């Protein structure tokens, strides 16, 4: 029977391992969440206790299992048109100032979770910068969770997930499921073709082929400590075009960080 001290050490091991892999800090009080979300992985391997699962991770260093663990513990809550004013700012202010008559531009959604954010961006761009008018835009969508990316790439959502979208967009941008897919909607292929999904740890080693007019990195900073936030923002700003914009969540702030961005308004920053 594991003691409370043993269990505390197991939770600390998981917390530190997640931080090591993703820089996401699971704060004290997350023990119940850790146990609940790792339950499926424990059952998959036939482990009865968290300690057995931790011993497995320590002894094998199983990279695939570490990925599954991070997937399980990463919060991927999102919805279509979440914090909608950012999408209005994108098409009404940011892009008109940056692109002018230049028809090609790139947007980065990081993290993209299960895809609602990059597809929301694509819908807005389709409305305001239509491909039929010669616009050539691409959305790069990245996330540390392979499970979330798998859902995002499929672009299939239950009907209730579309509730925040204008009704006419349902028919315009989705195919309604039939028979076995009754109650589901799939993003139409021309939209999917404009979004490139990729597994990236934002604080890991990676390169991007393109520079971006706007980067969405929303509701992620809250999981990081201040030094990690500063490191992340400075890394992201390297990929912004001159005068490009970084959008963060409404509940987040970069005040006090040493970054090369100026705050235009809460949650909206511009490269100096």
Q: State the Cα–Cα distance between residues 203 and 12, nearest whole angstrom.
A: 21
Note the pTM of the prediction, 2 decimals.
Answer: 0.82
Total of domains in the chain: 2
Please indicate, yes or no, whether residues 156 and 200 belong to a single structural domain of this protein. yes
Angle between helices 63-73 and 31-45 in degrees, nearest 10:
140
- Verify that 132 and 199 share a domain, yes or no: yes
Instruction: Tell me whether residue 140 is in a domain.
Output: yes
Among 23, 44, 73, the domain boundary falls at 73
Q: For residue 77, what pLDDT is reported?
A: 63
Catalytic: which of 6, 25, 35, 37?
A: 37
From residue 61, alpha-carbon distances to 56, 57, 58, 64, 204 in Å are 8, 5, 6, 9, 18
**Same domain flag for 127 and 260:** yes
Task: Determine phi and psi for 159, rounding to 5 degrees.
Answer: -55, -40
Which string of b and e fits 236-270 if b means at least 16 CB within 10 Å? bbebbbeebbbbbbeebebeebebebeeeeebbbb
In this structure, the answer to whether residues 100 and 190 fall within a common structural domain is: yes
**The two three-digit tokens of residue 266, written as one number:** 């809460």
221 pLDDT more than 90? no
Choosing from 73, 96, 116, the residue where a domain stops is 73
Q: What is the pLDDT of residue 154?
A: 97
∠ CA 14-197-62 to the nearest 5 degrees? Answer: 30
In-domain check, residue 34? yes
Q: Residue 128: which CATH number?
A: 3.40.50.150
Active site residue 143: yes
Gap between the Cα atoms of 226 and 152, Å rounded? 29
Q: What pLDDT is attached to residue 24?
A: 75
pLDDT at 3: 60
DSSP strand pairing (268-271 vs 261-265): antiparallel
CATH (domain of 19): 1.10.155.10
Residues 174 and 262 in one domain: yes
- Is residue 39 located within the same domain as residue 169? no
- Of 216 and 32, more confident: 216
- 140 shares its domain with 20: no
Flag whether pLDDT at 55 surpasses 70: yes
- pLDDT tens track for 147-175: 899 999 999 999 999 999 999 999 999 99
- In percent, the amount of the chain with pLDDT more than 90 equals 68
Higher per-residue pLDDT: 24 or 217: 217
Q: Are residues 50 and 179 in the same domain?
A: no
41, 143, 194, 218: the catalytic one is: 143
The number of C-alpha atoms within 13 Å of 170 and in the hemisphere containing its C-beta is 17
Check whether residue 60 and residue 116 sit in a common domain: no
User: What is the spatial distance between Cα 102 and Cα 114, in angstroms, rounded to a whole number?
Assistant: 31
225 is catalytic: no
Quick one: 69 and 91 in the same domain?
Answer: no
Query: pLDDT (tens digit, 9 = 90+) per residue, 170-219?
Result: 999 999 999 988 999 999 999 999 999 999 989 888 999 999 999 999 98
With respect to residue 80, please indicate whether it lies within any of the assigned structural domains: no
Q: Are 174 and 259 contained in the same domain?
A: yes
The DSSP 8-state label assigned to residue 222 in this structure reads G
Query: Range of 130's domain?
Result: 85-271
In a domain, 114, yes or no: yes
- Residues 153-180 as b/e (b if ≥16 CB within 10 A, e otherwise) read eebbbeeebbeebeeebeeebbbebeee
Q: In this predicted structure, what is the pLDDT of residue 28?
A: 64
In a domain, 79, yes or no: no
Contact assessment for residue 95 and residue 135, using Cβ atoms and an 8 Å cutoff: no
98 and 38 fall within a common domain? no
Q: Where are the alpha helices (DSSP H) in the chain?
A: 4-22, 31-45, 50-60, 63-73, 85-89, 95-99, 116-128, 146-154, 167-173, 189-192, 226-237
Domain boundary among 22, 42, 73: 73
């Amino acid at each position: 029977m594991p003691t409370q001290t043993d269990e505390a050490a197991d939770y600390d091991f998981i917390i530190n391992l997640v931080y090591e892999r993703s820089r996401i800090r699971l704060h004290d009080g997350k023990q119940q969440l850790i146990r609940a979300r790792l339950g499926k992985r424990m059952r998959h391997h036939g482990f009865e206790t968290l300690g057995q699962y931790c011993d497995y991770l320590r002894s094998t260093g199983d990279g695939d299992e570490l990925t599954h663990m991070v997937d399980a513990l990463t919060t991927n809550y999102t919805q279509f048109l979440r914090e909608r004013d950012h999408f209005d700012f994108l098409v009404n202010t940011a892009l008109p100032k940056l692109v002018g008559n230049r028809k090609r531009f790139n947007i980065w959604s990081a993290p993209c979770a299960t895809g609602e954010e990059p597809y929301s961006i694509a819908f807005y761009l389709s409305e305001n910068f239509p491909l039929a008018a010669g616009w050539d835009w691409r959305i790069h969508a990245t996330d540390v969770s392979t499970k979330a990316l798998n859902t995002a790439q499929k672009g299939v959502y239950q009907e209730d997930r579309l509730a925040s979208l204008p009704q006419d967009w349902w028919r315009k941008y989705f195919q309604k499921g039939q028979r076995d897919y009754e109650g589901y909607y799939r993003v139409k292929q021309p939209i999917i073709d404009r979004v490139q999904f990729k597994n990236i740890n934002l604080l890991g080693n990676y390169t991007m082929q393109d520079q971006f007019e706007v980067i969405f990195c929303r509701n992620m900073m809250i999981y990081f400590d201040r030094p990690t936030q500063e490191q992340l923002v400075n890394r992201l700003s390297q990929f912004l075009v001159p005068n490009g914009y970084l959008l963060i969540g409404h509940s987040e702030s970069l005040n006090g960080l040493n970054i090369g961005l100026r705050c235009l308004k809460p949650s909206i920053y511009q490269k100096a």
